[in-house]
Amino acid sequence: MATVAEPAAVAHGAMTPLPYRVARTRRENHDNWTLELEPVADAIEPIGPGQFDMLYAFGVGEAPISTSGDPDAGDTLVHTIRAVGAVTKALCAARPGAIVGVRGPFGNRWPLAEAHGRDLVLVGGGVGLPPLRPALYHALANRTELERLVLLYGGRTPDDLLFTRELERWRGRLDMDVDVTVDSATSGWHGKVGVVTKLIPSAPFDPANAVAFVVGPEIMMRFTAQALLERGIPAERIWISMERTMRCGVGLCGHCQLGPTLICRDGPVYRWDEMAPLLEVREL
């Protein structure tokens, strides 16, 4: 498994949130909001693509949320949150000026260096797109390091798609390829319909020289990895982002373990060949 990162110098306890002010909010769709957060006083260390923060809604609780913003955006934190429980609903209800707590950054990063000189294929399913967006921003800011850049995105319905305006802008770029599909269409949708794995056989990348980052529900990641393998990308060049119950986020509470790994500490980014055997054991 991936090795533990270097010791962090923290002036405050690892379980103590720092206050951050909500600078902007943006409603992405019916149950997803993006919050932009600025530190009230102390800031956390810079967060990298793939990492997550524990976001605290005062008096309600915490949730682990991946960064979805530009890694070069200074101290501003960007998190896209789906409102599914008490904590995330409270976070999504926060308005500019509200204060939330932040602990982080935790976890490991997307291995962007692996993509140097190669095609980078990003495959997102549903709310899997936000954790990929920082990798995409980095790739676009360092475009000459890569060969082709491909974004494949699958959502439930057209109304569930995230970052639609950005998707349109990205699709208009000449230096990347974007393909989007939905599982089920509404009338008025003139794009592709079908599972996201259908986008893989004809996506414009060279499997012999490609690296893939995949995020989405576990089933989607499994089938996508399968399709990428069938297309010819080796398992050692496919990375996924894992999720499990998290409470402390700092490797001290035991909840996020999956077999031999602690996802908050060794992940959430894992190489497919390392994670695949664990995902095959039901209820591991």
Q: Binders of another protein among 68-87, rule CB under 8 A?
A: 82, 84-85
CA gap 57, 268 in Å, rounded? 22
State the binding string over 102-131 for another protein (x if CB under 8 A, else -): -----------------------xxx----
Q: Give the DSSP letter of residue 258.
A: E
Is residue 213 a contact residue for another protein (CB under 8 A)? no
Q: Shortest approach of another protein to residue 120 CB, angstroms?
A: 23
Q: Shortest approach of another protein to residue 143 CB, angstroms?
A: 27
Is residue 283 a contact residue for another protein (CB under 8 A)? yes
Is residue 209 a contact residue for another protein (CB under 8 A)? no
CB 161 within 8 A of CB 125: no
Which residues have a Cβ under 8 Å from the Cβ of 142 and sit 6 or more positions away? none
In the complex with another protein, the residue whose CB is nearer, 139 or 179, is 179
Is residue 281 a contact residue for another protein (CB under 8 A)? yes
Is residue 96 a contact residue for another protein (CB under 8 A)? no
Is residue 93 a contact residue for another protein (CB under 8 A)? no
Is residue 160 a contact residue for another protein (CB under 8 A)? yes
Q: How far apart are the two ends of the chain, measured CA to CA in Å?
A: 17
In this chain, which of 2, 23, 43, 99 binds another protein, going by CB under 8 A?
A: 99
Helix (H, G, I), strand (E, B) or coil at 215: strand
Q: Shortest approach of another protein to residue 141 CB, angstroms?
A: 28
**226 phi, psi to nearest 5 deg:** -60, -45
In this chain, which of 26, 42, 58, 204 binds another protein, going by CB under 8 A?
A: 58
CA gap 47, 191 in Å, rounded? 35
- DSSP strands (E only) in the chain: 18-29, 32-39, 52-57, 61-66, 77-82, 99-106, 119-125, 149-155, 177-182, 192-193, 210-215, 238-241, 257-258, 261-262, 269-271
Closest by Cα among 114, 111, 30, 61 to 249: 61
Is residue 217 a contact residue for another protein (CB under 8 A)? yes
Is residue 144 a contact residue for another protein (CB under 8 A)? no
In this chain, which of 88, 104, 133, 212 binds another protein, going by CB under 8 A?
A: 88
In the complex with another protein, the residue whose CB is nearer, 233 or 263, is 263
Tokens coding 29: 């769709």
In this chain, which of 4, 93, 141, 208 binds another protein, going by CB under 8 A?
A: 4
Is residue 284 a contact residue for another protein (CB under 8 A)? yes
Tokens coding 167: 């998707």
